[in-house]
Amino acid sequence: MKLSFRWYGESDRISLEYISQIPNMYSVVTAVYDVPVGEVWPRENIARLKKLTEDAGLKFEVIESVPVHEDIKLGLPTRDKYIEAYKENIRRLGEAGVKCICYNFMPVFDWTRTQLDKVAKDGSTSLVYYTEQLEKMDPLNGELSLPGWDSSYKKEDLKHLFEQYKLVDEEKLFENLKYFLEQIIPVCEEADVNMAIHPDDPPWPIFGLPKIITNEKNIDRFLKLVDSKRNGLTFCTGSLGADPNNDLVKMVDKYSKMGRIHFMHVRNIKILNNGFEETAHDNTYGSLDIIGIMRVLVDNGFDGYLRPDHGRMIWGETGKPGYGLYDRALGASYLNGVWEALEEERRK
């Protein structure tokens, strides 16, 4: 397991020095953020991120994300030029020593929560998803914004996009994903880069938009779209775990045995009747069997990347919701401790 930590580049208030001080930290997880979706990342921007990272004693091996242009997801004729740019990004990142690219195939919006600062009994805050809050949200009224969302959309653009997605159901989305993968996976073979799709978060349709990376059946189908080890997963426990029908331990066991998990996002959530709340990473704080998941990874000799996912805001920290330093560092240390204990147990 290679412990990693998300870093939002030079504008991130959390420094690489702080990240490197977390015990056993191996690699950053970062991206070029100042280039519009669908364009080629300048080599000098990539080189600068790599240099800064390596100067801090960390590896530059994981990118999250290289975003996929909506025209690719929609299957529009213009997709080919965006796929060409995507291929070029894979080549350039491979040249810079990147081993794993995380991406997602979620229409329009990245992850969705209904509140970003829900106060818990202990005074910490976290991201939550409540059905009754979601029902009151209207993405087309133009007032809505979440950090996972592209804020550059204007109201009219969003309306147009929603119109376009009316023609794209799950089958069509799978078809468009296959078309994309058939073109990029051969480039990954050459560039020695693994693609790791992030599941849909949460794993069900929202606002009428289709979702496909949601459960075991669909992930099986996804892996067969292009049956190459390069075509793999970012297994995000908090995303897939929001659906209690997903048996995470079984899925992690199966996909890690197949060598198809390149990147683990580990976090815990508490499942409620009306949604879920993000919690501390520790096993007893949420509904997910974090130790069980870590155990099958240890048993299967998982040597991919693993990072703590969203943390709560604690100790008065402010900043990007889900991406403070303190609780994610506690999460990293917890996961590292669980890993060490399980490995030790196995050696005996």
The residues binding Mn ion (CB under 5 A) are 236, 265, 309
The count of residues in the chain is 348
Residue type at position 320 = K
Q: 129, 188, 201, 265: which is the annotated catalytic residue?
A: 265
Q: Which is nearer to Mn ion, 52 or 335 (CB)?
A: 335
Least CB distance to Mn ion at residue 288 (A): 13
Of 131, 147, 133, 148, which is closest to residue 271 (Cα–Cα)?
Answer: 131
CA 233 – CA 248 distance, rounded (Å): 14
Least CB distance to Mn ion at residue 144 (A): 21
Q: Is 309 a catalytic residue?
A: yes
Q: Is 100 a catalytic residue?
A: no
Least CB distance to Mn ion at residue 98 (A): 18
CA 70 – CA 106 distance, rounded (Å): 9
- Say how many C-beta atoms besides its own lie within 10 A of residue 119's C-beta: 11
Largest CA distance in the chain: 62
Least CB distance to Mn ion at residue 309 (A): 5
Q: Which is nearer to Mn ion, 197 or 325 (CB)?
A: 197
Q: Which is nearer to Mn ion, 79 or 328 (CB)?
A: 328
Least CB distance to Mn ion at residue 48 (A): 26
Least CB distance to Mn ion at residue 242 (A): 11
Q: Which is nearer to Mn ion, 8 or 179 (CB)?
A: 8
Q: Which is nearer to Mn ion, 74 or 266 (CB)?
A: 266
Q: Which is nearer to Mn ion, 201 or 289 (CB)?
A: 201
Q: 69, 198, 262, 281: which is the annotated catalytic residue?
A: 198
Residues 6+ apart with CB under 8 A from 231: 181, 185, 188, 195, 223, 225, 260
3-class secondary structure for 226-287?
CCCCCEEEEEEHHHHCCCCCCCHHHHHHHHHHCCCEEEEEECCEEEECCEEEECCCCHHHCC
Q: Is 198 a catalytic residue?
A: yes
Q: Is 236 a catalytic residue?
A: yes
The answer to whether 236 and 131 are in contact (CB under 8 A) is no
Least CB distance to Mn ion at residue 237 (A): 8
Q: 153, 305, 310, 334: which is the annotated catalytic residue?
A: 310
Q: Which residue has the tokens 């412990």?
A: 3
Beta bridge partners of 27: 4, 59
Distance from the first to the final alpha carbon of the chain: 19
The answer to whether 196 and 232 are in contact (CB under 8 A) is yes
Residue type at position 224 = K
What's the token pair of residue 134? 């979601």
CA 165 – CA 109 distance, rounded (Å): 12
CA 138 – CA 73 distance, rounded (Å): 22
Q: 200, 236, 253, 289: which is the annotated catalytic residue?
A: 236
Integer CA distances (angstroms), 304 to 62, 81, 254, 280, in order: 10, 31, 15, 23
Q: Which is nearer to Mn ion, 191 or 197 (CB)?
A: 197
Q: Is 69 a catalytic residue?
A: no
Q: Is 323 a catalytic residue?
A: yes
The catalytic residues are: 198, 236, 265, 309-310, 323
